[in-house]
Amino acid sequence: MPLGTHKATLFGVAGVSTGGDVVLLSTQTASDSSSLDFTSGIDSTYGEYIFKFYNINPATDGVTFQFQVNASDDVGGDFDESYITSTYFKVEHGEDNTVQGPGYDASNDQAQGTAYQYLTAGMGNGSDESGAGELHLFNPSSTTYVKHFYSTAQYYHLSNYSINAFAAGYINQTLALSEISFKMSSGNFDGTIKMWGVK
């Protein structure tokens, strides 16, 4: 088995399991960086791409970790042309044992929006505060269908909450997607993002 490849069991909607190769394609590390952009390696080789993020720590308190994409007609662009329709909900548990949710958060979704899509909201920027999670992007190279995604993130909220957040939706673009950008809503950040391909 090639280095960086392992066999994974993937479960479909009906619970049927199939084997698939999950290949590590790229690793980027932010060190007081404004963004991490993956501008190569997203093509028709894989039907699913997984972006896992580790120890994401913002420089600014109360910001959101987010993503947007570029289509094949906007390579090298500003990640502001692809329309996203999405959902966002979360569950909170505070250090004081206060519980909120699960609940829908309409302020973090989009309806044909071109903004970066939220993966978290209100992250703390303390030296020991961070977030982690993953984003799944399906069939980005299709030139027929829109592109679906979902994410889950666990992070430290600025108000001392543990939050598990879920975002999902589609990118209303039938051109192939070839680039993806991750950044904070304001300020820089530290952390690592790995891109995996799934056959």
Domain assignments of the chain as residue spans, ordered by start: 5-198
In this structure, the strands spanning 48-58 and 35-38 are: unpaired
Report the half-sphere exposure of 49 (CA within 13 A, side-chain side): 24
Whole-number Å distance between alpha carbons of 96 and 78 = 41
Backbone angles phi, psi at 139, to 5 degrees: 45, 55
pLDDT at 15: 35
Residue linked to tokens 């997984």: 50
CATH of domain 5-198: 2.60.120
Band (8; pLDDT cuts 50, 70, 90): very low
Name the percent of the chain lying above pLDDT 90. Answer: 83
pTM of the model as a whole: 0.89
Whole-number Å distance between alpha carbons of 71 and 77 = 9
Is the pLDDT confidence value at 16 over 80?
no
